[in-house]
Amino acid sequence: MALSLSLGPRVRKSPFFEAARADGLAAASVYNHMYMPTSYGDPAAEYDRLINGVAMWDVAVERQVALKGPDAMALARYLTPRNLDGLKIGQGKYAPICNFEGALINDPVLLQVSDDEFWFSIADSDITLWAGGIAGARGMNVEVFEPDVSPLAIQGPKSFDVVASLCGDWIRDLKYFAFRDFDLQGIPLVVARSGWSKQGGFEFYLRDGSRGEELWNIVKEAGAPYDIGPGTPNYVERVESGLISYGADTDPSSNPFEYGLGKFMDVDQPHDFAGKKALQAIRDAGVTRRFMGLLIDGPDFTGTNENRWDLSWNGANAGYLCASAYSPRKQSNIAVAMVHVDAIESGQRITVHAGGGDRTAEVVELPII
């Protein structure tokens, strides 16, 4: 029997939730203590819209952790190993957050929205608690809170036309992670060139949660000439593109170097930050496993893996598979996985202990496409 999700007031709803439901929302997960839409019941159509057309996604689960006040910048610098020297209003940065052991505890996008206000647009972990705790313990003069801000993503090659028709042609010149305040028919937004796909797109950060349904319908109407339809962060496309899904791909000891995030960190900055010593030690020692792609032999997968699958090579454990899928564009079974460095360096096939039986797989660099 299909297992369903129990709806109730303990898990929060997005401002777009009822509009999404009216448009056929079929499945959801839970992320940042909110329902996160995962399917409208037709995965093939949702994938096709993202690759060839345009889709609109309720990603209000991407909550913002606001830091506001005189010490906001100092707190932001303490929270991330990313070098924030070039940060400016209007240009976001991917800014990993680590604990004091150097483990990755979130992989947010950081936006400076005014002189003294910053938003970490977070993945699925409680950074409001972490940041508030650090600010309090360090006696910093800064407020840490979750503002009324809810992203709606518009993704896919035709998203440029849809968003230009709503906001103007200036959106075509936005650099990746750049953003700007915009008043859309009286609805306050931050419009950003961002989103969790490599198909191009935008995010409308809605700044008034009472207007979710209105915004949803405006986007739906503007997108109608381009056959817009509802979608969700796309499982297959993200595996093809090698985008990290915090929590799905990470475990309590994952460090950012294992995910290739070294380029988004500067662990030798003069100031102190959470995890600095540990990250320097990890950098010096090198990693023992890396986040990689797999091309998996055998019959086409249908659906997705519910559990992690163990990997082995040369008779020993070689890590774990995080997410697997059949890729229509690669015409192969694919996956993202944490793979031990010795298995990667062997250049040999590894074994995937898949749900339906063992399979062999080639280890490849990300992205797969």
Only segment of 106-114, 179-187, 221-229, 275-283 that touches ligand THG (CB under 6 A)? 106-114
How far is C-alpha 121 from the chain's CA centre? Answer: 9
Helix (H) or strand (E) holding 36: strand 34-39
9 φ/ψ angles, rounded to the nearest 5 degrees: -70, -10
Closest to ligand THG by CB, 13 vs 93, is: 93
Interaction between residue 250 and ligand THG (CB under 6 A): no
Cβ-contact 298, 362 below 8 angstroms: no
How far is C-alpha 219 from the chain's CA centre? Answer: 22
Interaction between residue 57 and ligand THG (CB under 6 A): no
Give the dihedral sign, CA 259/265/81/239.
Answer: negative
Only segment of 48-56, 159-167, 192-200, 251-259 that touches ligand THG (CB under 6 A)? 192-200
Interaction between residue 123 and ligand THG (CB under 6 A): yes
Only segment of 120-128, 129-137, 166-174, 271-279 that touches ligand THG (CB under 6 A)? 120-128
Interaction between residue 94 and ligand THG (CB under 6 A): yes
Interaction between residue 156 and ligand THG (CB under 6 A): no
Interaction between residue 80 and ligand THG (CB under 6 A): no
Among 28, 122, 167, 352, binds ligand THG (CB under 6 A): 122
**Six-digit token pair at 70?**
């005189």
Cα(121)–Cα(81) distance, integer angstroms: 16
- Tell me the three state secondary structure of residue 284: helix
Q: How far is CA 126 from CA 28, 108, 112, 250, in A?
A: 20, 12, 20, 15
Closest to ligand THG by CB, 199 vs 333, is: 199
Report, in Å, the least distance between residue 351 CB and ligand THG. Answer: 28
Q: Which residues bind ligand THG (CB under 6 A)?
A: 62, 94, 107-109, 121-123, 151, 176, 194-196, 203, 243-244
